[in-house]
Amino acid sequence: MVLPKRQTHTTEELFELFPVVHDLFIDATERQIPRPKNKHKQKENYSGKKKRHTKKNTIISDENREIRYLGPTVEGKKHDYRTFTDEFPTKLHLYHLLTHRHCRVILDSGQIRHI
């Protein structure tokens, strides 16, 4: 078993992780955490979408459901698109992924609205 890569800096590096992939799925996943005792941490980690305290990661997987990229863990209140754009430098935007001719990129509706 190989752990997913955690850092890519260009579109080319990202597609090197997926040499023969035809479909890429990009989404964020949230998982519930115990309610923090600290008021500030409660506010940071409260997800209005899930109505609970969560942590979130961006995941990029292929058509075989293999996770090829796992982003850093962030607070649950952060929007999926903002999480994605904070993880990648300006050279790697969703637009570059969507216009790449070798594969199809599938996003959730929260990320599509911001392109």
pLDDT at 63: 84
Assigned domain for 3 exists: no
- Residue 67 lies inside a defined structural domain of this protein: yes
Q: What is the pLDDT of residues 26-43, one digit of tens each?
A: 888 899 999 999 999 888
* Structural domain that includes position 103: 11-112
Sign of CA dihedral 9, 12, 18, 21: positive
- Whether pTM > 0.75 for this model: the answer is no
User: What is the structure's pLDDT at 75?
Assistant: 92
User: Quick one: 82 exposed, middle or buried, by C-beta within 10 A (0-12, 13-18, 19+)?
Assistant: middle
Is residue 1 a part of any domain in this protein? no
Which amino acid, residue 11? T
The tally of domains found in the chain comes to 1
Residue 73 has pLDDT above 80, yes or no: yes
Residues 6 or more apart whose Cβ sits within 8 Å of residue 103: 15, 18, 21, 22, 23, 24
Tell me, yes or no, whether 63 lies in a domain: yes
- The residues, ordered by sequence, that sit 6+ positions from 81 with a Cβ below 8 Å of its Cβ are 110, 111, 113, 114
The residue among 92 and 88 whose pLDDT is bigger is 88
| Element at 97 (helix H, strand E) | helix 94-98
In a domain, 4, yes or no: no
Question: Does residue 93 form part of some domain?
Answer: yes
